Amino acid sequence: TLPVLIDCDTGIDDAIALTYLACRRDVEIAGIVSTGGNVPVPAVHRNNLALAGLLDIAAPISLGASHPLAQEPMYADDTHGPQGLGHAVLPDPERTEDPRSGAQLWVDIARAHPGELVGLVLGPHTNLALALEIEPELPRLLKRLHIMGGAINHRGNTGATSEWNFAVDPEAAQRVLAAFTGAPARPVLGSLEATEAVQFHQDTLDRITQLGESTGHPVAMILAEALRFYFEFHQADGFGWMAHVHDPLVTAHAVTGQFAGTRPLPVDVELAGTLTRGQSVGDELGRWGREPNVDVLTGVQPKAFIEHLLATLEAGLRA
Ligand code: BDR
Ligand code: CA
């Protein structure tokens, strides 16, 4: 089995990604780090603890930092609801937290699986950046790092040019990309222009709602109620009755290598721009004279991916 550490700001699409991982028998969730982002970190943590209990995930779950490295937190309760999971009401968590910090958990789990751990960042990069201060060898301890974040030559979804996970903690994203430059395996970056190819429509919402009704599995019902809120947000934001679902694509690509290709690119994060702070800049024409430091997801196959995701949830939550 493939050990995976998931660092997330759960979050509607984070919850789907976590459930997807729990449904895969070939994956061992080795650790969960709760990072503040979509909602404040205590709410993220509560969601992760409750979902882990309902999904029988035994991994340690650590509370991450309460603030980004160098700016005040921002929250997206319009997008994800005040508790992070839209209309869903979660039971009180049965799981208890691991006493270690989110950063320490990154370090301990990576050291326990040298060369084998897949790191998955689905939220702001704060805790991974702090982990790199404890263990600068992390880029060489991990098998690979997969990131949902950034927007390459694409409008932002937070600032005009910045994507949420990078905009919440630009310094952390910049430090992570810098630290992993020259790592044995280039980080894989699923940025907005790739993840926005994954659009759920009513038929997908129906499949997840039916899964809840036919199995009575609480997590299927939670995901359906969460997604309904996500659709309402996208409609209010002018996208129509649909939802962009980002994190599960990056997650499925991380564990299967399927549903998208990659292309190498030098990418850095703008920290100084008054209009563009948090933007991920890709050097398409090699003007910086730097080697590519990430592999950017490209050529996404949304239909095949959504079918795979639904089939995995249906098999896993029925069992
Ligand atoms: C990212 O921002 C969050 O709201 C989502 O969970 C995803 O990780 C998309 O920009
Ligand atoms: Ca997320």
Q: pLDDT tens-digit profile of 273-284?
A: 999 999 999 999
User: From ligand 2's centre to the CA of 294, what distance in Å?
Assistant: 19
ipTM above 0.90, yes or no: yes
DSSP assignments along 169-234, one per residue: -HHHHHHHHHHTTT-SSPPEEE-HHHHTT-EE-HHHHHHHHHHHHHH--HHHHHHHHHHHHHHHHH
Ligand 1, residues at Cβ distance < 6 Å: 11, 13-14, 38, 76, 79, 122-123, 148, 157, 163-165, 246-247
User: From ligand 1's centre to the CA of 204, what distance in Å?
Assistant: 19
3-state secondary structure of 242: coil
Find the radius of gyration of the CA atoms of the chain: 18
Which residues, 6 or more positions from 116, have their beta carbon under 8 angstroms from its beta carbon?
Answer: 2, 3, 143
For residue 319, pLDDT beyond 90? no
User: From ligand 2's centre to the CA of 17, what distance in Å?
Assistant: 9
- Structure confidence by residue, pLDDT tens digits, 243-271: 999 999 999 999 999 999 999 999 999 99
How confident is the model at residue 288, as a pLDDT?
A: 98
- Structure confidence by residue, pLDDT tens digits, 40-72: 999 999 999 999 999 999 999 999 999 999 999
Q: What is the token pair recorded at 140?
A: 């060489």
Distances (CA, A) of 242 to 46, 104, 234: 27, 38, 6
What percentage of the chain exceeds 70 in pLDDT? 100
Nearest CA among 140, 112, 99, 144 for reference residue 254: 144
Residues with CB under 5 A from ligand 2 (ion): 9, 11, 14, 122-123, 247
Binning pLDDT at 50, 70 and 90, where does residue 220 land? Answer: very high
